[in-house]
Amino acid sequence: MSKLFSPVTLRNLNLRNRAVVAPMCQYSAVDGFANDWHFVHLGRFALGGFGLVLLEATGVVPEGRISYGDLGLWKDEQIAPLARIVDFLHDHGSAAGIQLAHAGRKASTPVSWRGPDDLATEEQRRAAGYEHWVPVAPSAESHDPANPDFQVPTALDAEGIRRVIDGFVAAARRADRAGFDTIEIHAAHGYLLNQFLSPLSNHRTDNYGGSLENRMRLVLEVTEAVRAAWPAEKPLLVRLSVSDNAPGGWTPEDSIVLARELQARGVDAVDCSSGGMAQGRITSAAAYQVPFSKAVRDGAGIATMAVGLLGDIEAAEAILENGEADFIALARGALDDPNWAVHAARKLDGVYDLWPVQARRVAGRDQVLGTRA
């Protein structure tokens, strides 16, 4: 059996394989509620054979959403439509995870496909769930002063920081009630927790700014509080931007230090991405972020998830075999081919077992066409 399709266990969670659907914002919610779009969008990945499906960045407080169209988990009423999705994923063999997030100064941004004409009337705004608010951040500095989509945020005070921590904890408890198998704390891509980590965005002079220890403080406090609230038998993930990809910014060496601290606080795996600050620059290419996964895995001794243009099946298998990651996560690749996992299982192992029983006639088609592995 291939490494990609060998089962793996995190705490008491048994995953049928190491193929993961990474979180992908859909900007299609109203007031944070999941709807039929999310149900169909996510359910197809379970039918496509993925071992773990991670839901998009989900606001732990209303002001923590990237846009008014984000999912949320700040009130109990948002649990039921998420539980419906979780139940479908479980019924078709996939584990279900949710990324809990706070966008910080990158909050309250537009939904890209809606222009002024789409929000011209009160009726249109209400149908879209349009809202606008002033975001919060470690420091009162815009993500990108040259871009009018980003506002100057309010710097968080002690009460605001407490609200962030409490929001993550309450959302984690709701995620458990919805039946999720794992949660991922979003500390990447220039959002709030990443903003506290990075010297490019954190210019505080209190206990949450300055030294590496201080800049890591909020991420570690959130992690400790969430781990205490999240069932001990369920794994906890954290997504990091392993590098800001910018001079003077957060580095892979910093991420290794943080990953060790996260592991000591009960984190089971790190989802290794990069970037998110306006100053950052990196050239995208196939598997371009895999070195970040390897650096954290080797340096911190923690399981890692590689992500970033990983659609080549043999290359994905080689990443696992070479010890560069423990999981392969696809986002745009999964959008392009929701059946990527079943196709990969056919190519690597010559099996059709991951197909739903209703679809296994594909094997007969392949046999007739002479394309069966």
Q: What CATH number is associated with residue 62?
A: 3.20.20.70
pTM (two decimals): 0.97
First to last CA, the chain: 14
The per-residue pLDDT for 366 is: 86
Domain residue limits at 270: 8-369
Whether 251 is in a domain gets the answer: yes
Q: What are phi and psi of 365, to 5 degrees?
A: -60, -45
Whether 57 is in a domain gets the answer: yes
Beta-sheet pairing, 19-21 with 52-59: parallel
Beta-sheet pairing, 8-10 with 71-72: unpaired
Find out whether 51 and 20 touch, Cβ atoms under 8 Å. Answer: yes
The per-residue pLDDT for 368 is: 87
Whether 2 is in a domain gets the answer: no
Whether 24 is in a domain gets the answer: yes
Whether 258 is in a domain gets the answer: yes
- The number of distinct structural domains making up the chain is 1
Whether 286 is in a domain gets the answer: yes
The per-residue pLDDT for 56 is: 98
Whether 101 is in a domain gets the answer: yes
Question: Alpha helices of 7-96 — where are they, by DSSP H?
Answer: 36-47, 79-91
The per-residue pLDDT for 373 is: 56
Distance of CA 60 to the CA centre of its chain: 14
| Residues in the chain where the model's pLDDT stays below 50 | none
Whether 229 is in a domain gets the answer: yes
**What would the pLDDT profile of 56-68 be if each residue is shown by its tens digit?**
999 999 999 999 9
Q: Kind and range of the H or E element at 319?
A: helix 313-321
The per-residue pLDDT for 371 is: 78
**What would the pLDDT profile of 133-185 be if each residue is shown by its tens digit?**
999 999 999 999 999 999 999 999 999 999 999 999 999 999 999 999 999 99
Active site residues: 191
